[in-house]
Structure 1
């Protein structure tokens, strides 16, 4: 695996957990807080933060799609995981596995091992 692909996977992995936790932590917390108190001003910034994390995740996913040459089914799976609450946590595990598989395959290619 080349350095650009590895760094694209790493960036996607870094944003997947905050994006996965932003919906339940920020949006649900803000909704509950606005219903039980008079604090309504928090919903807008929390929604913007959640949306920004989602957009960054989508951009990083497109970057991985181009650099790692993932099939469309895999990209669609990661997009669906980003929509589901806590789905990004499972996506993080999958990305970690793809990273290690790519490192192993790259090392085997350099050493001349053909599988």
Structure 2
């Protein structure tokens, strides 16, 4: 079980970082400097990570016996900047 939590944690971290890179670096490059290349690359990576995050959240819902409310909160966190970091700290078991 710890292995799967660790994998979900890494997906969560990568999803959050890709979203922040998309918002704070790629989008300004596209709209302020007319350089859209990074948006397509980072956007694709973020899209894949987002799907993996939602699938992983559902898997955690089943394995950790989360309530439906917790699942919804964790999924909403995926669309908020820094949200996955919050979900990690609040809803995943501590690995210590």
2:32 equivalent to 1:20? no
Within a 5 Å distance, the mapping from 1:29-44 to structure 2 comes to 29-44=25-40
What is the CA-CA distance between 1:81 and the residue it aligns to?
0.9
Q: Where does structure 2 lack aligned partners over 5 or more consecutive residues?
A: none
Q: Where does structure 1 lack aligned partners over 5 or more consecutive residues?
A: 104-115
Q: Runs (4+) of structure 1 moved beyond 4 Å?
A: none
User: SS at the partner of 2:72?
Assistant: helix
Within a 5 Å distance, the mapping from 1:36-115 to structure 2 comes to 36-96=32-92, 98-99=93-94
Kindly tell me: are residues 95 and 13 of structure 1, through their superposed partners in 2, closer, same or farther at Cα, counting changes over 3 Å?
Answer: farther
Structure-2-length-normalised TM-score: 0.82
Larger Rg: 1
User: SS at the partner of 2:37?
Assistant: coil
Residues 9 and 99 in structure 1, CA contact (< 8 A), matched pair in contact too: no
Residues 16 and 89 in structure 1, CA contact (< 8 A), matched pair in contact too: yes
| Coordinate RMSD, CA, aligned | 2.0
The count of residues paired between Structure 1 and Structure 2 equals: 96
User: SS at the partner of 1:83?
Assistant: coil
Structure-1-length-normalised TM-score: 0.71
What is the CA-CA distance between 1:24 and the residue it aligns to?
1.8
Equivalent-residue separation in structure 1 for 2:8 and 2:50 (angstroms):
11
